Structure formats: C-alpha cells, structure tokens
C-alpha cells in the first residue's frame, strides 16, 4: 500500500514540474523567437560581410528579408516581412555583441 501511495506522489510531483516548465516556456516563447530571428539574421549578414567589405542599411534589409526562425519544441515561427523596419534592431543587436561597426554614415563592416 505504501509503495502505491509513493508512486502516486512521485507521479504528481513529476507532472507538476513538467507543467511549470511548459508554462515558463510558453511565457517566454516570443522573446526566444525574437532572439533566434536576430541570431539567424546576424549570421546571414556576417556571411555576406566575409565576402564583401561593407554593407549599408538597404543591402542589409534586402539580405534579411524573408528570414524565418523557429524553436525546435514549438510549431511557432517568426519571420522578417519588412526588412527596413527590422534593420535598426538588427544593427543594435550586432553592435552590442561587437559583430559590426559603423564605418561611415549608414555603412557597416565586420568588427576586426
């Protein structure tokens, strides 16, 4: 009898932990998607800059247009529809991580 009660208590404990973990994941899902989209777009710009010296905002907007990112545990996806609106956020993200530096007004290059 004690073994059955212990099994029920352990099952309830595991169920509660999994529920809280899933709830936390669903609450932070949009932020995780945004970070994944920024990371994927930055990788695309970085690949472009390996072959070219500089990039401007218009080229960057054209380059990241249509980039999509998702999380492996979710069906939800985030994508760039309007590159011109997304580029300022991407530039801020890349300069904060010291991946990009401004050469002249509106022109950027990889940080050495």
In eight-state DSSP terms, residue 28 is S
pLDDT at 78: 86
Tell which residue, 64, 42, 60, has the closest CA to residue 108.
60
pLDDT in tens, 12-43: 999 999 999 989 888 888 898 999 999 999 99
């Amino acid at each position: 009898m004690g073994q059955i009660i212990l099994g029920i208590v352990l099952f309830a404990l595991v169920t509660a932990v999994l529920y809280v973990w899933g709830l936390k994941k669903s609450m932070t899902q949009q932020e995780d998607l945004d970070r994944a989209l920024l990371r994927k777009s930055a990788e695309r710009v970085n690949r472009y800059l390996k072959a070219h010296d500089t990039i401007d905002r218009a080229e960057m907007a054209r380059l990241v247009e249509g980039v999509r990112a998702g999380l492996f545990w979710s069906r939800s996806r985030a994508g760039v529809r309007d590159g011109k609106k997304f580029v300022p956020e991407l530039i801020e993200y890349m300069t904060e991580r010291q991946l990009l530096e401004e050469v002249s007004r509106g022109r950027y290059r990889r940080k050495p």
